[in-house]
Structure 1
Amino acid sequence: MARKTNIDPDRGDARTRLLDAARDIVRSQGFAATSVDQLCKAAGVTKGAFFHHFANKEALGVAAAQYWSETTGALFATAPYHDHADPLDRVLAYVDFRRDIIAGDLEAFTCLVGTMTQEVYHAHPAIREACAASIFGHAATLEPDIEAAMKARGIKGDWTAASLAAHTQAVLQGAFILAKAADDPAVAIDGVDHLKRYITLLFQASPMGGQHD
């Protein structure tokens, strides 16, 4: 019988385990407060393994943002909000989906790239750029449905599909910050509920508001 080790072989290779550790620890305590030693301990790897995969902690931060995009992108790509026939229903169901995944401890549902952006935007431009690519890249996935909903309902105004998609992310990131400030996930849920009301009102605007042809 093989001797049992402390490392679960199903957790993936050393690089993946380090990225998983960064995802969890940075969301809990921030990037600056997270040490290489702490990451290695959580991942069950040696410090030598860390520096084999990452030149330094900043490189780990960039890779963690990219990893976050890949893993969350896969989650959203298969989410049920895509199943609706009407594009506005898809947009509103996206907001519902974001509300539904607000559960558990704050670090379990808050955004890694949003957390890192707030902390390192000036000190680590490479991490900031990777976080921006993640946030704005995700926002861009909403634009086709928003644009289709605008076209289907004859909506025209001083806003665009891109600006509304970006606004959804601004509200979500702000909701996470407020939830952290209050130490209460319910605050984030309230923010998402208001986002849904806002989007619904945008698409119900009267001709007097200049939103329709």
Structure 2
Amino acid sequence: MNMDTKTEAARASSTKLLDAAVHVIRSKGYSAARVEDICAEAGLTKGAFFHHFASKEACAIAAAAHFAANADALFDAAPYSLLPDPKARVLGYVDFRKAILQGELPQFTCLLGTMVQEAYESHPAIRAACDRYISEHAGRLAADIAEAKARYAPDAAWTPESAALYSQAVLQGAFILAKAKHGPKVAADCLDHLRRYFETLLPADRS
């Protein structure tokens, strides 16, 4: 096996472990997720796990980055991102979030929200990683909201950054309710309300 092949194999096993960690932690929570569970989900050994990660915490932090990168790619490829009207992009973001409430709960709930609720005090490094990636995602939306605000509500006192973070608060709360009620309908209803909220914040074209 040449060096390029070894590197590719190592990258593939790392990705399998990160995908497995995302699924297991979203399903069980951080504390209940064992290294053995992640290895079993990935179809790899504990030796492979510890070759890539020094600890379960290190794996969780890497999984947060992996989850965020996959989310960025998903939202970048979403059709709404190409809409010329910034208000349409903001509303399209909410519509897209509703459209991807598909499959079992672990498939559409947020790894970052799941981990930070549980580990914010006991694992500061996990809290910091979750804060970083939630905030970065909100920042991407804030750019569209800022453009829409300049066009539709230039004199409003609210900030694009606060509105974008509010959207994430709604989403994370919606995921908690979906878990409590064991289904996506309540989350979809919350997103409908979020859409109406943005329609109120950005009421009319002033161009």
TM over 0.5: yes
Give the Cα–Cα distance (whole angstroms) in 1 for the partners of residues 137 and 37 of structure 2.
Answer: 30
Query: Percent identity among equivalent residues?
Result: 51
Aligned-residue offset at 1:155 = 2.9
Amino acid at match of 1:110: T
Gaps of 5+ in 1: 1-8, 206-211
Give the Cα–Cα distance (whole angstroms) in 2 for the partners of residues 197 and 36 of structure 1.
Answer: 43
Question: Residue 108 of structure 1 aligns with which residue?
Answer: 107
Aligned-residue offset at 1:63 = 0.3
TM-score norm. by structure 1 comes to 0.88
Question: Residue 178 of structure 2 aligns with which residue?
Answer: 179
Give the CA RMSD over aligned residues.
Answer: 1.7
Question: Residue 58 of structure 1 aligns with which residue?
Answer: 57
TM-score norm. by structure 2 comes to 0.91
Greater share of residues in helix = 2
Aligned-residue offset at 1:14 = 1.5
Aligned-residue offset at 1:77 = 1.1
Aligned-residue offset at 1:103 = 1.2
Q: Write out aligned runs for 1:1-213 (5 A).
A: 13-204=12-203
Select the structure of larger CA radius of gyration: 1
Amino acid at match of 2:121: H
- Given that residues 155 and 203 in structure 1 are in contact (C-alpha distance below 8 angstroms), is that contact kept between their aligned partners in structure 2? no
Aligned-residue offset at 1:165 = 0.7
Determine helix, strand or coil for the equivalent of 1:142: helix
Determine helix, strand or coil for the equivalent of 1:129: helix
Gaps of 5+ in 2: 1-7
Aligned-residue offset at 1:149 = 0.9
Give the Cα–Cα distance (whole angstroms) in 1 for the partners of residues 43 and 174 of structure 2.
Answer: 33
Q: Closer, same or farther in 2 for the Cα pair 1:40/1:111, shift >3 Å?
A: same
Residue deviations 1:51-109 (CA, integer Å, cap 9, x gap): 11100111011000011111111111111111211100110001000000001111110
- Given that residues 153 and 203 in structure 1 are in contact (C-alpha distance below 8 angstroms), is that contact kept between their aligned partners in structure 2? yes
Residue deviations 1:14-36 (CA, integer Å, cap 9, x gap): 11111111111111111111111
